[in-house]
Amino acid sequence: MAYPIWLRALVLTFWTGLAAGAHADDWECRERPAPQVTFIQFQSPNLAAPQTPLTIKGKLSIPARANARRNCFDFDNFPSKKRGHGDNPKLPAVLILHGSSGVDARGDFYEAALNAAGIATLQIDMWEARGVVGVANRPQLPILTVPDTFSALAFLSAQGNIDPDRIGVLGFSWGGVMSLASAERTYAGQFGGGRKFAAHVAHYPVCYAANNAAILRAFGVSPAQAGTLFQNLTGAPVLIQIGSKDSYDNSAAPCRALAASVNPGNGDIVDVVEYPGAFHGWDRLMVPVTGADPFANQGSYLLGTSAVPSISIVPDVAQARASRERVVRFFRGNL
């Protein structure tokens, strides 16, 4: 039996569209409910002035549940280590931590993908409460903002629609240092109040500086005091992503060396992914920028071997999308 041309075209269009949809990334779905966005604040210890706690502000995004199965994801089939029960399961969540330049496009870039995958997000501003505008007046040492990560964890854990056992953290540059620090038992014990993150992603987190006492001599502190200790881990999986042309580590080698040094004693939980040809901040989809940072070039200035080195932050759209996909899959598999 011969079918009319118009009918054959209609059937072909239907099956082509269905196949394309089956292979589309979850976060590329065109019809998805908008997340519920609220602007929140919480208190965090101020290590620089213990008598005056800091008020940290942030943006909380909760994925909409309405019509979820007709859109981007199915909560019943959502891969996770633990899932809530009933019609209103508790959600996993990811804390997003900015770099030295402050809150920028990276947070929203990953937030949209995570929300579309059914993961709540909290972006916080560690700089606003401290009057920081960038590299020039950021906190002298990472330890000063480590409490913010655990205060944010406590805030998320107290939300009725968030599963406190399925909260991860994603950080960029300075925020990446925070992600590594929050995986260290020393800081979890000092600031966590019995809580810990379930998974960590650190993008270009200045790996050479971890456990590095030499570059801290000018500050007169140890890695544990500086917030750069990364030895005895909490047991949660850690993903480090780094570009081969990073201006701080100069290659992926310091991150690979860091993972190799800690993995044997911590159950091989640290994984490193290298992006060939990528610069620091490849997933910052904004105009390229250059600047200076004493911690760049493997700390050459702090070691007294050079002037303050420059840094290059160069976007790479293709690799940014690849890293975003890997981040979403990492959290979907570990939260």
Per-residue pLDDT of the chain (335 residues; tens, 9 = 90+): 444 544 444 434 334 343 444 333 444 555 568 999 999 999 999 999 999 999 999 999 999 863 344 344 444 444 455 555 455 589 999 999 999 999 999 999 999 999 999 999 999 999 999 999 989 899 999 999 999 999 999 999 999 999 999 999 999 999 999 999 999 999 999 999 999 999 999 999 999 999 999 999 989 999 999 999 999 999 999 999 999 999 999 999 999 999 999 999 999 999 999 999 999 999 999 999 999 999 999 999 999 998 999 999 999 999 999 999 999 999 999 99
CA neighbours closer than 13 Å in the CB half-sphere of residue 222: 4
Closest listed residue to residue 219, CA positions, set 132, 301, 99: 301
Q: What is the CATH number of domain 31-68+77-289+316-334?
A: 3.40.50.1820
Q: 242 by DSSP, 3-state: which?
A: strand
Q: 295 by DSSP, 3-state: which?
A: coil
Cα end-to-end distance, the chain, whole Å: 53
Is beta strand 36-44 parallel, antiparallel or unpaired with respect to 54-62?
antiparallel
Question: Can you give the residue ranges of every domain in the chain?
Answer: 31-68+77-289+316-334
